[in-house]
Amino acid sequence: MRHLRSDTDLDAASFARVLQLGRAIKRRPADYRDRLAGQSVAAIFAKPSTRTRVSFEVGIYQLGAQALVLATSGAGGLQVGRGETVADTAQVMSRYVHAIVIRTFAQAEVDELAARGAVPVINALTDSFHPCQALADAMTMQEHFGDLHGRKLVFVGPGNNVSHSLLLAGPRGGFDVVCACPPSAPPDPAIFARAQADAKEAGTRVSVEHDVVAAVAGAHVVYTDTWVSMGQEADRASLLARLRPYSVTQAVMEAAGKDAVFMHCLPAHRGEEVAAEVLDGPRSVIFDEAENRLHVQKALLLLLLEAEPWE
C-alpha cells in the first residue's frame, strides 16, 4: 500500500505518472467516471479549506465513490477532537473506508494515521507540507512550458508548507526552485536539507535567497502564498512586518523573465503578498492552478487505490 504523506513519498517516476494521469483525466474525464464505484473516501479537515475540500469532494463523486467530509470539532466532528487517539481513529476508519484524505496541523498525525491504519492516506495540507498543491502546480507548469526540465520556479514568501512541498517537488519534477524569504522566516532546515540532497541526485537546484529582485532573474514561475498560514494568526503582526519587502509587485514580475507566469496556491491577500495588478493580471494562472487540484487529486486516488497502474 502507498500513501502521499508528503512529497517524499513520490520519486521522479511516480511524480511524472501522477501528472501524466492528471492531464489524461483533464482531457477525457468521462473515461474515468465510476472507476471507484462502491468505494468510500473520508476527507478529514481540522483546518478551513475551499479548494481542497471542494475539489476532493467533487473528484471523489466524479470517480463514482462516496465522499465523507469530516470535521474534527463541533457537534458533527470526529471523536479525535475530544481526545480519541489518531491510532484508534486510523484503525476504525480503515474498517469502513477505502482511503483517508486529511488536512491537519502536525505532520506526525498524518504519519500516524498512515502507520496505524490499513488504507492509503493523502496529506491535504499540514503545517509542514502541501503535496497535492505542488502536484497541481507542476501540472500547471507543464501546461504552460511543456517539459519541466530546466525551468525555474521562485517562491517569494516565508518558508512554509507550500514552499516546502515546492522545494521537494523540484527535484522530482526536474525543475529548479528558489525560496526568496526573509532571513527570519526560512524553510525548515531539515526539509531544505532533504530537498538539497534530492536536487543533487536529480541534477536540479534548490536554494534560499533573500534579495527578491536578484532571485527572480530568469524565473519561469514567480510564486507566492499568504504570509500568515492557518494556525499562525497570533504571529500576524510580526510576519507582516518581516515579509513586507517580499510582496510580489509588478516590478518583481518585470525583474523575472518576460515569459514568467505568476502562481499562487490561494487564498490570496491583495496588497499583502501580491499586488492586485499581478494576481488579476495577464501573467496570472491562478485559476488553472486551482482547477488542476481536481485533476491531480483524482489521479492520486486512482493510483493509490490501484484503479490505475503506476507504470
Which strands form 40-45's sheet, in the order they lie side by side?
66-71, 40-45, 99-103, 121-123
Least Cβ distance, residue 50 to ligand NVA (angstroms): 9
Active site residue 244: no
Least Cβ distance, residue 15 to ligand CP (angstroms): 19
CB atoms within 10 A of CB 85: 12
Least Cβ distance, residue 107 to ligand CP (angstroms): 16
**55 binds ligand NVA per the rule CB under 6 A:** no
Active site residue 17: no
State the residue number with the nearest CB to ligand NVA: 229
**137 binds ligand NVA per the rule CB under 6 A:** no
Nearer to ligand NVA, 42 or 134 (CB): 134
Near ligand CP by CB under 6 A, which window of 66-74, 194-202, 241-249, 261-269? 261-269
**204 binds ligand NVA per the rule CB under 6 A:** no
Least Cβ distance, residue 128 to ligand CP (angstroms): 14
- Tell me which of ligand NVA, ligand CP, none is bound by residue 161, counting a contact when its beta carbon lies within the kind-specific cut-off of 5 to 8 angstroms: ligand NVA
Active site residue 133: yes
Residue numbers 145-184 binding ligand NVA by CB under 6 A: 160-162
Active site residue 132: no
Residue numbers 34-73 binding ligand CP by CB under 6 A: 49-52
Which strands form 206-209's sheet, in the order they lie side by side?
206-209, 176-180, 152-156, 221-224, 261-264
Question: What character string, x for contact with ligand CP (CB under 6 A) and - otherwise, covers 163-192?
Answer: ------------------------------
Q: Which residues participate in catalysis according to the annotation?
A: 103, 130, 133, 225, 265, 293
Which residues of the shown chain bind ligand CP in the complex (CB under 6 A)?
49-52, 125, 133, 265-267
Which residues of the shown chain bind ligand NVA in the complex (CB under 6 A)?
125, 160-162, 225-226, 229-230, 265
